[in-house]
Amino acid sequence: MKPYFIKTSSLLKFIFRNWVWSYASKKNVLYLTFDDGPTPEITEWTLNELAKYKAKATFFCIGKNIGEHPEIFQKIIEEKHTVGNHTNNHLNGWKTKTEIYLENIEESEKYFTQYLKLKTKNLKLFRPPYGKITLSQSRKIRKKGYKIIMWDVLSADFDTTISNENCLENVIRNIQNGSIIVFHDSVKASEKLKFVLPKVLEYYSYHGFIFKSIDY
């Protein structure tokens, strides 16, 4: 497993300040995000856990997964969560030509409009898979009206080399008011997600935090 940062540094946030990393807040507010769905059972389980605490979240969906599981995608919307584009095929921007990358995002947009009849202009959130995107891609995506949503805290639930307890510690140690936290509603991350998410929801709800979705 290649190295990664659990907590995003202030310097990185400053250098790439056109991207959203977290929100300034004096209130106890957290922003849970879930990448790579919708995935049968896992996304539905996630929605059920969120509902127990009346928590709202943001789901960055892969276009082809929406096409395969539109009913789960519809449930995300019905339960008042927000959704964002995560490309059609989970592309790594650093390894993909800009033209192809943008075409893949547009392909993903078709699933949003097909299954939810949303206008493209309403799809304002984008998260690059792996957090890897070039400056050229970023400029062109933002010209399309997207907000590029990154993160403040990476749970690393995708990392099969760490324990469930390590994953939980990644979150608990690094959360601050206004933090954007990354989880994955995917098969690969499901074991850690099912261990960590209930504990995070219970702990922070008990301490007076509100879980909000990211606005368009």
| Catalytic choice (157, 159, 184, 185) | 184
Q: How far is the CA of 22 from the CAs of 14, 67, 198, 211, in angstroms?
A: 12, 30, 22, 13
CA torsion sign for 176, 35, 201, 74 is: positive
How many other CB atoms are there within 10 angstroms of residue 190's CB atom?
A: 17
> At which residue do the structure tokens 């890897």 appear?
132
Query: 35 catalytic, yes or no?
Result: yes
The amino acid present at 77, given as its one-letter code, is I
CA torsion sign for 125, 128, 134, 136 is: negative
**Residues contacting 215, CB < 8 A, separation 6+:** 82
> At which residue do the structure tokens 């095929």 appear?
89
Please give the torsion angle defined by the CA atoms of residues 30, 31, 36 and 38, in that order, rounded to the nearest 10 degrees.
100
Residues taking part in catalysis: 35, 184
